[in-house]
Amino acid sequence: MASKVIHAIYNDDDLLLQGVKQVREARYHIGEIYTPMPVHGLDKAMGLAPTRLAITSFMYGVVGFAVAVAMMNFIMIEDWPQDIGGKPSFSFLENLPAFVPIMFELTVFFAAHLMVITFYMRSKLWPFKKAENPDVRTTDDMFLMEVDVANHNVDELTKFLYDTGAAEIKLIDNK
């Protein structure tokens, strides 16, 4: 973490987007951006890598499908192949239609829940977690961009951020 950062606060998401583009063009480094709501195109403007959450979800779905197949094949076909209402329990394939609803639901269950848990873990969210909010107004109506000062001239950077339309600029010392 940079020892010194500048918090530039914008009160409009259009200004913020424009500011992000200018800051990146000027090759300053953006640490974080705090917004009260999703801003369309912000991740693209910041150059963030696309999420791989959907890929994990697909894999969890495959796992759920495999669990369902293995479970029902063992219980219904291998372990105790009972005649229940004349359903053919000689092989998995013969009784497959009866298993499909469970296979479907388990696939969705695994895909959905494990993906959500992955999301919580990756974004470090849990109950009693201490909120990392640099300015309470960013949950209401302000947009905050955190720019690393690094070895740049503070005055120049401040002037630059002011020109991008920031309503408030603060120098923060990280201890």
Partner 1 sequence: MYTLSSKLKLTAIIFMIVGAIGLVIGFLQAPSDLDDVREMMAAEEHHGETSHAEEEADANFAEAEHGVLLDDEPGRNADEDEAHAAEAGAHDNEHLEHKLHQLQNKPWAAVYVAAFFFFMISLGVLAFYALQYASQAGWSPVLFRVMEAISAYIVPGGIIMFVLLALSGFHLNHLFIWMDPEVVAHDEIIQNKTAYLNVPFFLIRAAIFLGGWFVFRHFLVRNSRKLDEATDLHYFKKNFKLAAGFLVFFLVSESMMSWDWIMSLDPHWFSTLFGWYVFSSMFVSGITVIALVSIYLKSRGHLPFVNNSHIHDLAKFMFGISIFWTYLWFSQFMLIWYSNIPEEVVYFISRIENYSLPFFGMVVLNFVFPLLVLMNSDYKRINWFVVMTGVIILVGHYLDIFTMVMPSTVGESWFIGIPEISAVFFFGGLFTFVIFNALTKAPLLAKRNPYIKESEHFHY
Residue 38 touches partner 1, criterion: CB under 8 A:
no
Token pair of 139, please? 């949950």
φ/ψ of 32, rounded to 5, equals -135, 160
Among 15, 67, 71, 98, binds partner 1 (CB under 8 A): 98
Q: Which residue number, 54 or 167, has a Cβ lying nearer to partner 1?
A: 54
Q: What is the largest CA-CA distance in the chain?
A: 83
Token pair of 150, please? 């690094």
| The amino acid at 75 | I
Residue 47 touches partner 1, criterion: CB under 8 A:
no
Token pair of 167, please? 């309503």
Size of the site for partner 1 (CB under 8 A): 6
Q: How far apart are CA 7 and CA 135, in angstroms?
A: 9
Q: Binding to partner 1 (CB under 8 A): which residues in 109-128?
A: none
Among 48, 100, 108, 171, binds partner 1 (CB under 8 A): 100
Residue 58 touches partner 1, criterion: CB under 8 A:
yes
Residue ranges binding partner 1 (CB under 8 A):
54, 58, 86, 97-98, 100
